[in-house]
Structure 1
Amino acid sequence: MTDDAWERLPEGIRRQVDGYVLQDRLMYAVRLVWETGRAQGVGLNLAQELVSLRYEHFGDRVARTPDSPLDLESLAALASGIRARVVAVEAVWDGDTVHDWFVELRAITEDPAGEHGLATVYWGTGARALEAEGADPGPLDPHAAAATRAGTALADHLGVPFYFASPEVPDDEAPRWRDRPATP
């Protein structure tokens, strides 16, 4: 069925989809397949499957988005470039239709108040980082475990607290560092 659906797409559309895949622009490719294939019965699930097969077809030729660095030296360099006083390092769950759940490492600042992205930790990023360190994720998913390790190391280096409201369960509505209950 997938070969048929792919072949029914016009050649120009197939070439454009392959271009998006080679650039690792998954959502553009899926949207194009879905919108142009809808008249032939291509639903969203089939569009995702077709694009996934194109990713498999191209393999290492896909220009993948590089992993965010999670080593202390790189994170410390990123934090040192922030023009505000870092008061905490926070890990926050987020998600999208491309990557599912992922963890954002952020520097929380004051003077002025704000937050600054330091790293995005996808499942694969976390698994690769833990494997490179020979570390066990324990009960956490790899992206949560790697974010916790990297965030804790950076917070210790900076002498500030590390905060991750929900490391065990993805929750993009978990209390944030600034919203946490005050401790006596």
Structure 2
Amino acid sequence: MQKHGPWQIVQSQEVYRDPWTAVRKDDVIRPDGQPGTHTVVTIKPGVCVLAMDDEHQVYLTEEFHYGVGRTTMEAVSGGSEPDEEPLLTAKRELQEELGIEADDWTDLGIVDPFTANVVSPTRLYLARKLAFGDHAPEGTEQIRCLKIPLAEAVQNVIDSHITHGPSCVLILKTALLLG
């Protein structure tokens, strides 16, 4: 048996794996002493990037996301390749999705979008001093670039027009950082 906080793992079994996701089923002893099961989904670590120009205009993506079944507005985001440093992932994703390169990067920490049963740490970055070029989205992506004032992005978070958790945290942290 393995201790896991106030839980005890009796047995753990991987029930699914693909290049992005793994699902594990744990037979456990719950904190109240009763037997149970707990399922954990692990998604590879990722990044979320908010590109902002000198006029405090931010560059967001508008894209249909299969999981939620609708078009969303959010900051650039994506998963890290194995052994890839988060900043390199951030630079790659910003260029691929919006064709933007940045000379100034601010690390705004990590967010865990879900904590009860999903492991998916996401590193947050603010990218400034921007240069614009051609984007190269992946075959699964049809991305439209949206340029809006940071204040409007904050209002979109407040009004639930932006619902992607890491994007919400990143936009609000950026607004607080800039005062």
With the length of structure 1 as denominator, give the TM-score of the two structures. Answer: 0.29
Bigger strand fraction: 2
